[in-house]
Amino acid sequence: NAGVTQTPKFRVLKTGQSMTLLCAQDMNHEYMYWYRQDPGMGLRLIHYSVGEGTTAKGEVPDGYNVSRLKKQNFLLGLESAAPSQTSVYFCASRSTRGGLRQPQHFGDGTRLSIL
């Protein structure tokens, strides 16, 4: 049971390049999230999804797009990377079965540097 898997683990981009981060979960969770973690800023929610085919904006959505075409996958895209998007990105998933309050399960993160 892999849980939440993020690919790639590390990536260096040049300003203006585009890329997609992939998150895959094998727990059949309904909800999925993308966060960024920066020193002194903590974890901030970028986008989230409450089910296949649905996405919503979080606290810091600008410069990012997401898609959830399959329940198990949640993709985060950077169309034109900027140095301000240098960060560690975390994906998480969450079940809603068994009650309203369930913990989020996190991947190991993707370290992204924009030069």
Partner 1 sequence: SQELEQSPQSLIVQEGKNLTINCTSSKTLYGLYWYKQKYGEGLIFLMMLQKGGEEKSHEKITAKLDEKKQQSSLHITASQPSHAGIYLCGADSPDNYGQNFVFGPGTRLSVLP
By CB under 8 A, name the binding residues for partner 1: 4, 31, 33, 40-43, 45, 48, 50, 56-59, 90, 92, 94, 96, 100-101, 103-109
Residue 49 C-beta: closest distance to partner 1, Å = 8
- Residue 111 to residue 108: CA distance in whole angstroms: 10
Which residue, 10, 57, 48, is CA-closest to 29?
Answer: 48
91: number of Cβ within 10 Å? 28
Residue 94 C-beta: closest distance to partner 1, Å = 7
Instruction: Tell me the Cα Rg of the chain.
Output: 14
Residue 16 C-beta: closest distance to partner 1, Å = 28
Residue 92 C-beta: closest distance to partner 1, Å = 8
Per DSSP, the chain holds a count of helices (H) and strands (E) of 0, 11
The first and second tokens of residue 11, run together, are: 């990536």
**Closer Cβ to partner 1, 17 or 67, answer by number:** 67
**Closer Cβ to partner 1, 13 or 46, answer by number:** 46
Helix (H, G, I), strand (E, B) or coil at 95: coil
**Closer Cβ to partner 1, 14 or 99, answer by number:** 99
**Closer Cβ to partner 1, 26 or 59, answer by number:** 59
